[in-house]
Amino acid sequence: MNLARRQFIARAALVLGGLCILPSNLLLAAPAEQVHLVRRGENLTRIAARYGVSTEAILSRNKLSSASLRPGQRLVIPARPPAPAAPAAPSSVLAPVLAASRRLDITPGRWTHLVVHHSGIEAGNAKAYDGAHRRRGMENGLAYHFVIGNGRDSGDGQIEVGPRWTRQIYGGHVRSQEMNEHGIGICMVGNFEKRSPGRRQLASLYALLDHLRGPGLPGRAAAKVTVHRWVDRNHTVCPGKRFPYSELKRRYGAVA
């Protein structure tokens, strides 16, 4: 049965039954949408941030005139609007991440930040950096959780999943131990002091960030997006002056 027909029948039943139910109780979620059950202490701003949609979109979708919610209330969360001029990554780039994530049992709240890096050199891939980090004395090897290739030693936009992600262990990509413990490290291969990241590399970065912050991951790694230089102030230029910081802020409200 299609959606319009279901909604029509639901409304007809309401009228026939003579019940007085708030219209929002009858809203049915379309396939790309989700239903959220409001819990005690939650507010609209927090719910909107969690799903990456605007508070206005939720209000309008649920035909609500006020932002005050009550525990137990059901909200239809509209699908996220596509970002304008977003370079789309082919769905296959996320395949290794999805395959790895499916096997993981991620503790909710385990990851609070997503930290973007560049490698500072054009050569290398997850395996090469793993070797380099071990030679530097890091017993867990590759300091990042993910590496996004530039087409030289791995595919252009290819996302490699590191063992720190599959083992769900802390990273070694920033100075602060606290941030390493709770920050997911994402390294883009290249030197973005000298050139801008490639279109495919960026598309893969956004696809990965969307996935990690979105509902696609068990346990919901709802996390703030940031970059290395904002975490380790005055210690690094990573990920380089040619990295599109304003776009990261626009998409994710990235925190400096």
Return residues touching Zn ion (CB under 5 A). 117, 228, 238
Q: How far is the CB of 147 from Zn ion (least distance, A)?
A: 12
In the complex with Zn ion, which residue's Cβ is closer, 78 or 239? 239
Q: How far is the CB of 172 from Zn ion (least distance, A)?
A: 11
Distance CA 202, CA 222 (A): 20
Distance CA 241, CA 39 (A): 42
Strand runs labelled E in the chain: 34-37, 74-77, 113-118, 146-150, 156-161, 183-188, 224-227
Q: How far is the CB of 134 from Zn ion (least distance, A)?
A: 18
On the CB side of 244, CA atoms within 13 Å amount to: 15
Q: How far is the CB of 130 from Zn ion (least distance, A)?
A: 16
In the complex with Zn ion, which residue's Cβ is closer, 179 or 238? 238
Q: Is the torsion defined by CA of 163, 167, 168, 169 positive or negative?
A: negative
Which tokens is 115 given? 């930290």
In the complex with Zn ion, which residue's Cβ is closer, 200 or 228? 228
In the complex with Zn ion, which residue's Cβ is closer, 101 or 180? 180
